[in-house]
A and B are shown apart, each in its own frame.
Chain A
Amino acid sequence: MLCSCSSSVTTTLPRPKATKDILILGVGNILQGDDGIGIRVVEMLTQECLPSGVCVADAGTPGLELPLWLEGWERVIIIDAVHMGELPGTWRRFGPDEVRLIASDKALSLHELDLANGLALAQNLDMLPKEIIFYGMEPERIEWGQELSPAIEAALPGLLEDLKAELRKRE
């Protein structure tokens, strides 16, 4: 297995070198407690030995710019906090067939640019990757602070292992 141990997470728009390359995109605001789950996961990934052709990126809160992050990639994995009505720390992996985009077609302001709207915009621009996998984890506390809740800290290694298995599967 080829290894590309990267020590940093890119925050600028990455582009694939080959069509089979995979972009792992962490999304969220690390100043809002558990909203930073996606960013924490991509930070943890930089400590791992990753297969070649895997690019790890911190997209922060990309809003309308999400299509620019996705441009050119055919395989993308997105990680974010998501309200699913589950216990905090519960996570789910959604495959390409399970990701449904429902976005408002009205009433958009700068303050409503969530991931769903960003993905819907990408879809309408015909810029959605062929293969998109979404990891969502139920947050406990979304409020000012840089710490993750204990339930989230405890659950992150499980998500990370599944993500790594996902990457190994694709080699």
Chain B
Amino acid sequence: MQKMYSELKDKGMGLIAVNGMDSDAVINKYVEENKFTFPIGMADKKEGGGIYDVAEKYGVSAYPTNYLIDASGNVIWRGVGFNEAAIRKALAEAGVK
């Protein structure tokens, strides 16, 4: 993910890693260790835990799940699991190549 982002961020790719389950401290340590440069965002947790708002809005029940959203704010691709080739293909179709 980091590799793809480094390669394509100057070509118009944005990335948000949405996390709603870990603590800030755990994430910051993990980011530091792996030298991630892409933005990670902590979702607002719901009271009592469980699924969080953003995941609910996006119907996410398995991780990782990826969505590709174009400049006009529409979903242009989605996939459960991490399939780099499929993500790159969808990005290319959106002009990120």
Indicate whether A and B interact: no
